[in-house]
Amino acid sequence: MPYGKGSFFTNKREVCVKTGFIFDLDGTLLDSPSIGKYRVTILLAVNGVFLTEQAKRKLFSQWGKPAIPMLTESLGIPHEMALAINKQWEIWDGIDPASFIKGAREIVEWCRDTCGEVALYTSRHTENVDQLLRQLKARDAFSLVVGREGDAEGRLPRNRYEKENPASFLAIEAYLSHRYRIEQVVYVGDTIFDVGYARAADMESIAVLSGGTPFEEFQNLGVEIKNILASVKEIRGWVVANL
């Protein structure tokens, strides 16, 4: 969505036009990609799938997709096995969750308090992500938390919320716009797939490098340099410069 000029300063505090941010979770807010790659490799081995270096490269090239299609499409394993591995992965993450990237929680709260409202949208199961955020004492930072089954409070229409489906993003955008009078929405993610999801929904996106995607891959997709940030910690400066 195009942006108008709306930022100004009042008592040295940055204020922007009423903006909603939708944050991806893993690699964007949580320092989880390296942990996740290690854990999925172990779980595949436990289930009898031992990865060659070529298979690892193929799997990790799909990193950022929802776990089940990532596993079935890159490795060709049966859907039932992918479901079982994903369940084991979620249990492991629940017992020993990844931590927030340094400064990520603070920037989420800044976006909420200064610009508008903040939603979280992840491919994890809704119940699991809600429990995870409460475990990390971060649930209150978000106005809306959306997982694969929608949001836990039932604020959104009941549906399957898959990132490949632009209607999922549009439903979150519509909720933020109506409930909080948000004027525009930006999606923040860490993979080339996140950029594609946002484009499919005609939504502005910020790409962060904290998940491990090289700068050049975002550039090759045509992401503007100003929209490629080292991490979410740079969003404050992006807001001041662009809104």
Q: Where in the chain is the domain with CATH 1.10.150?
A: 33-95
Other beta carbons within 10 angstroms of residue 167's beta carbon come to 15
Angstrom distance (rounded) from CA 12 to CA 8: 9
What is the value of pTM for the model shown? 0.87
Q: Where in the chain is the domain with CATH 3.40.50.1000?
A: 8-32+99-242
Contact of 166 with 200, CB cutoff 8 Å = yes
Other beta carbons within 10 angstroms of residue 242's beta carbon come to 17
CATH number (3.40.50.300, 3.30.43.10, 3.90.100.10, 3.40.50.1000) of 8-32+99-242 reads 3.40.50.1000
Q: What is the pLDDT of residues 78-136, one digit of tens each?
A: 999 999 999 999 999 989 999 999 999 999 999 999 888 899 999 999 999 999 999 99
Six token digits for residue 75:
């490795």
Output the tens digit of pLDDT for each of the chain's 243 residues. Answer: 333 333 333 333 445 568 899 999 999 999 999 999 999 999 999 999 999 999 999 999 999 889 999 999 999 999 999 999 999 999 999 899 999 999 999 999 999 998 888 999 999 999 999 999 999 999 999 999 999 999 999 999 988 899 999 999 999 999 998 888 888 899 999 999 999 999 999 999 999 999 999 999 999 999 999 999 999 999 999 998 886
The fold of 33-95 is: DNA polymerase; domain 1 (1.10.150)
